[in-house]
Each structure stands twice: as C-alpha cells, then as structure tokens.
Structure 1
Amino acid sequence: MTTSTPEPAPPDAPSQTELAAHVAKLAGRLQHGAITNLAGPVADLARLRRSLDAAAGSDPVVWRIIFAGFPEQPDEPLPSRGEYAAYLSVCLFAIHQQSKNTQMHGGGRTHCLGRAIRQLAQSGTDAEPDGAIVKRFNAVVTADDFNEVIHHLRSLVGLLRVSSIPLDYGLLADDLYQWQLSSKRSGVRLRWSRDFSRVPRVPKTGLNTDSPDPDSTND
C-alpha cells in the first residue's frame, strides 16, 4: 500500500474562515437585493447564473462581483483554489436564488450540504429517504473529478431551489476548497456523509419548536 505526502495549503490561500465569510457576506447581500428587487443585485445574479460553465476570470464583470474585497488574489496565471471555490459557490447560489422571494443562503451547519440534501430527501423522521435523491447525493460524495462534483451539485441545487431549502454557501466554499486538496478530500466526503446521516427533526404540534437541534451543540 502506498501513501502520499499530504500537500500543505498554498501560502497565499485564504483561511477557511475568511473564504466562508466572504462568500456568505456576498450571498447575503445578493439575496437581500433579489428579494427586495433591486436592479443591481438582480442583474448580478443573472450574470452569475450564466457564468457557471464559463472559465473563471473570463468575464471581468463577474470577477469583480465575486472578488471585490476577497482576502487573497495571487498574481498567478490560473485561479487559485480559494478563488475557484468562491467562484463556483457564488454561481451555484445564483442558480439557487433565481425567482425566489425567500433566502436560499442559510447560515450555519443546519444548512450545510449534507443536512440540506437529507432534508430534501426526507419527508418525515419515520420515512425512508427518497432513493433518487440518495443516488444523486452518493454521486457527489463518490465523484473523483472536481468537474463531476460541480455537475452533480448543480443538479442538487436545482432540486433544493424547487423545494425552497436553503444552503450555506460559505460552508460550501470551504468544502470545495478543501476537496481540491487531496489530503483533505476524504475528510470532506466523510463530513458530507455524516451530515446526511442525521435525520432532520420535524416539529410536533403543541411542542416548543424553539428547542435547539441536539446535533447543533457539537457544531
């Protein structure tokens, strides 16, 4: 059995906290503008939706929308891992928020990828998760190619949008950054699988629905 030496994070990489905070702040601003029907954010989201399949950096307007104030922008010929993760996350968010008058970027681990997809697949605590959704989620977790991951995520984000289930795009950006590091990839997959395995709580009539999620104490 051969082992590989874990590669260190690039010296110019933003910290996970910086990356997540930047993407979350941008998604929050864009969704507020979309919900209140402000012309600028609505136009920005439309442009972002068209950019998911384009090369990062090929549209200077899109780059400016996403990366104004970004923690690190190295002077390199290709986008950094952090830039690529932010670019893809924000473009996916633009698809998620399209024509929605509620917030599709949710903050916190209750809206992480695995839990959001489990909510999508689960109609109640006693029900088996929908097999078709499980199959789509498994395809994301087991994908060996980053473009394949994004392809499957795009499909799942479309389903989350139809069901009005939010996703934390700051956390997703962190996950996509780490996936690009071979030493971190198995940890991302494990986190997604663990989060999906948590059955979502369904509030019962007459009970206090403000009680905390028991899983959230460990987040």
Structure 2
Amino acid sequence: MNHPQEEQSRLSSSIATTCSKLQADYLGRNGYPNQAQARGTLAELRKSAGQPALQNPLVFENVLSSLVAPLSEKEMGRGDAPSPSEEAAFQALTYFALHMQGATHEVHDSSHSFASACGRLAHTSESKSIKGRFDALVLARTAQSRLIQTRSLISLLRSKDLRFHYGWFATDLRKLSNPRTRNGVLLRWGRDFAFAQHPRENNSSSTTKEN
C-alpha cells in the first residue's frame, strides 16, 4: 500500500537509504569489515529502541553519523533539543536496529507500511492479542507510551520475519509528534492494518493501487 506523497521528504529517503546499506552490510553482502562495523553499529543503536533521543545523546550522535544522506538544513535542529525530524530519525533507526537483531534477510523493504505489517502479523498469528496491542498504540495518550507499544510490536514483527518501509515509518513518526497531523497518521494506520488482514481480497487490486 502506498504512503502519502510526503514519503519523498529528505527524512524518508535518508532513512530508507541508510537502512538499505546497514542491512546489506549486516547480512555480509559488502564484505566482512563492513559486516563487522554494521553489527557493532546496530548493537549500539538497539539499546535505545523505545527511548527518547534526549536521554541518549551519544546514541543520537551515532544515529546522525550513520545517515548515508544527511537530513536537510531545514530538518536539522538548532537548540538543545532534537528537531521533530531528528527525533524521528533516531526512533526509526533504533527500532530498525532492534528489528535487525539476528536477522538473516532484509527487514526494510519498499512494499509495506508499518501498520500493514502489523495487520499481516494479526492475520497470520495464532495469538489474538495483536489487535489489542495495535489498538493500544493508536490510543496511546503520551509519546512515551507510543514508544513502548511500538517497540513491543516491532519485536513481534521480528519474531515472524515481517518487514516494512522504514523511510515511510520515519515520516509517520515525525507527523505523530505534531497534534495537527497525528490523527491523520493514526487513521491511515488503522486503514492499513484492517486492509492487510484480508490478503486474498486485496491481492488483485494491490498492483493498481501502487501504480
């Protein structure tokens, strides 16, 4: 399912490119030295998955240093707190590092949104708690609660080898920090989650929707 046009932002492209490189290195496709470096980088980043950037200044620095393409000048922060784009980049890459732990294939791909992956998880899992976990994320009243619920869901996606587009995810995380755009993201996530639970009915129309 396609993401809105804002997926073309520098934040989205930077995170997508960075995740593609890190996972290729991690999986050993670019030689052992790159693999060892990627594994060290991701091991450091995943320690902060689900935590605010402001509490982890060294990891925040590592996130910005890891970006293959830097954020635009407009997206960079100026003061003593991360900008919304910097916070979103921090969250996306630390969650990606958690998702990649022990992976034998890509966890970042270009065809599924985060909510769509969660819907596929609910459809294929024997557990009946997935929808409740996703609903708890949508209903979370604080940023800290959303971080915790998101970490829990990504751990479950990792256990079932489900993947999604981390560039789109980063854009959504940035919009979730803005009260004016938050509900729109949550509404779209609900749609993607529900749509992904009916793959047989949707397979025939997916190509049309993505073109």
Relative to the length of structure 1, the TM-score reads: 0.79
Match of 1:107 in 2: 110
Q: Secondary structure at the match of 1:117?
A: helix
Match of 2:199 in 1: 201
Q: Deviation of residue 139 (structure 1)? A: 0.6
The structure with more radius of gyration: 1
Q: Give the whole-Å Cα distance in 1 for the aligned partners of 2:63 and 2:88.
A: 14
Higher helix share: 2
Q: Give the whole-Å Cα distance in 1 for the aligned partners of 2:36 and 2:204.
A: 38
Q: Give the whole-Å Cα distance in 2 for the aligned partners of 1:150 and 1:216.
A: 32
Relative to the length of structure 2, the TM-score reads: 0.82
Match of 1:5 in 2: none
Q: Give the whole-Å Cα distance in 2 for the aligned partners of 1:43 and 1:185.
A: 34
Counterpart amino acid of residue 28 in structure 1: S
Closer, same or farther: CA 148–216 of 1 in aligned 2, 3 Å? farther
Q: Deviations over 1:117-176 (max 9, x none)?
A: 11111139xxxx853000000011111211111110100000000000002111111111
Q: Deviations over 1:54-80 (max 9, x none)?
A: 644610334422486222323221100
Q: Secondary structure at the match of 1:131?
A: coil
Closer, same or farther: CA 164–154 of 1 in aligned 2, 3 Å? same
Q: Which runs of 5+ in 1 are unaligned?
A: 1-13, 204-210
Q: Give the whole-Å Cα distance in 2 for the aligned partners of 1:86 and 1:164.
A: 23
Match of 2:3 in 1: none
The count of residues paired between Structure 1 and Structure 2 equals 193
Residues 167-186 of structure 1 aligned to structure 2 (within 5 Å): 167-186=164-183
Runs of 4+ in 1 over 4 A off after TM superposition: none
Match of 1:149 in 2: 146
Match of 1:88 in 2: 91
Conservation of the 8 A alpha-carbon contact between 2:107 and 2:164: yes
Q: Secondary structure at the match of 2:57?
A: coil
Which of 22, 25, 42 pairs up with 1:30? 22
Q: Give the whole-Å Cα distance in 1 for the aligned partners of 2:106 and 2:135.
A: 26
Counterpart amino acid of residue 181 in structure 1: N
Q: Give the whole-Å Cα distance in 2 for the aligned partners of 1:200 and 1:107.
A: 20
Q: Deviation of residue 31 (structure 1)? A: 0.5
Give identity over the alignment, percent: 29
Q: CA RMSD in A?
A: 2.5
